[in-house]
Amino acid sequence: MAATGGSVGVSGASWPKWSVAVVVGVPVAVGVGYWYWKHRSPLPGQGDKAEILAEKPKLSSLASANQEISLDTGGVDSNSAMKEEVVQTPLQQALSHKDAGNKLFKANKFIEAIEHYNSAIEICPTDKTQDLATFFQNRAATYEQLRLYEKVKEDCSRALELNPRYVKALQRRAKACEVTKDLQQSLEDVTSACILEGFQNQTTLLTADRVLKGLGRKHAKEAMAKRTPIMPSKHFIKTYFSSFVEDPITKNLADEKESESAEADVRLILTEEEIVASVTEEAESSEEDKEGDTTKPTIKSSIFFSPTPINKSTLVGLDRGVARAKQAFALQNYDDIIPACTEELKFDNSSHKDEALVLRATFHLLLGDHASAFKDFEKVIDNENADIKVGAVS
């Protein structure tokens, strides 16, 4: 007979109910728990042990990399390096100084602007020739405002060494050279600027024209100071003297021509000794040739044995001084007049000094030697005993 409230086993023995519940419930609970554990979401910070172990080498290598950057940058960690500002290159620093200098230049703060241009030139790499040329040219512009023209020329020259086709530097140096009277260099610079601009800049063309005229005046002045005086043409001199209504020189010459014979004109070029020697020779020749035909005079006899007796005193001085100058004037040998007048002025007892001064001053004037002409005329004016009538064209 079976027991009440029990279970009958295979062998016929009966189990208590609570034993059956344990046997059946435990496996079910374990299975449900295992299923839940497999399918649940992992909590933050938790994961598979294999995944955690796999992440450890990555974290280790990152830490090693951070340690190497810190050594190369002098111990600065990655977080502080990200916060640090970006460092400018030398060229960028130079350009910053140039911009600052330009602002100060526009504000008429030229000394401060020069300091920034100096810094730009010092910092700028030497291989950046175009930028360096700009810095030098900008500093030259500042020196120009301060009227330091020698420094302007120096900086423009440096700029042109770096950039030979820099038109602004050529124009600025040309202007500085014009102010300092170096017109030759100024003309070369402004001509180069005109060529580079294709002769399209009107301001540069006007500068070239102005410099060229100034250089021409300078060269003309130098040439006039060094030139050898040249006597004007005979026609010009004749026309010049004909413009004087009461010219004492030409009037005296006209009077002398009327009173002098052809023989007297020849005697003017002979000295007293030559005349005496010729007369003696003629007399000796006549004695030796008494039996010959003496009716035909020789050349010398035709000159010296004229119907008018020769006065020895009248022959003295006919070949020198003012007399020689007048003869040269009559024969249009104008180059001999000034030396003859100078010779007359050397005679202490000469009564023709004022006449010689006027004649010499006149030909100094024709030669363009105004200073010498002024001195001679002044001597005549200052002489109270001068009795010379001078004609002038007003």
For the stretch 126-138, pLDDT in tens is: 999 999 999 999 9
Tell me which residue range forms the domain holding 203.
90-225
pLDDT of residue 52: 45
User: How large is the greatest C-alpha to C-alpha distance in the chain, in angstroms?
Assistant: 231
The pLDDT tens digits for 324-336 are: 998 898 888 999 9
Asked, for residue 200, whether it belongs to a domain, the answer is: yes
In the 8-state DSSP scheme, what is residue 268? T
Q: Which has the higher per-residue pLDDT, 230 or 158? A: 158
Token digits of residue 111: 């000394």
Q: How many domains does the chain have?
A: 2
* pLDDT top residue among 307 and 121: 121
Q: What is the pLDDT of residues 268-282, one digit of tens each?
A: 444 445 555 555 555
Residue 384 has pLDDT above 70, yes or no: yes
What's the pLDDT at 257?
56
Separation of alpha carbons 302 and 298, rounded Å? 6
The three-point CA angle 53-54-58 to 5° equals: 115
Tokens describing residue 118: 């100096």
- φ, ψ dihedrals at 122, nearest 5°: -70, -40
Asked whether residue 165 is domain-assigned, the answer is yes
Residues 337 and 356 in one domain: yes
Q: What is the pLDDT of residues 7-34, one digit of tens each?
A: 444 444 566 666 666 666 667 676 766 6
In a domain? residue 74? no
Angle at the Cα of 358 from the Cα atoms of 357 and 362, rounded to 5 degrees? 115
Residue 141 sits in the same domain as residue 249: no
Are 234 and 242 within 8 A, CB to CB?
no
Long-range CB contacts (within 8 A, 24+) of 60-67: none
The CATH number of the domain where 197 resides is what? 1.25.40.10
Same domain? For 114 and 249 the reply is: no
Rounded CA gap, 199 and 206, in Å? 11
Share of the chain above pLDDT 90, in %: 41
Question: Do 240 and 210 belong to one domain?
Answer: no
264 in the same domain as 352: yes
Query: If you average pLDDT over every residue of the chain, what do you get?
Result: 75
Least confident of 14-18, 293-297, 355-359: 293-297
Q: Residue 6 above 70 pLDDT?
A: no
> Do both 221 and 261 map to the same domain?
no
d(CA 161, CA 357) in angstroms, rounded, equals 61
Taking only Cα atoms into account, the Rg of the chain, rounded to an integer number of angstroms, comes to 61
Could you tell me if 245 and 194 lie in one domain? no
Answer yes or no: are the C-beta atoms of 380 and 364 closer than 8 Å: no
pLDDT in tens, 69-111: 333 434 444 454 444 456 889 999 999 999 999 999 999 999 9
User: Helix %, strand %, coil % for the chain, to 5?
Assistant: 70, 0, 30
> Looking at the predicted structure, is the pLDDT value of residue 169 above 90?
yes
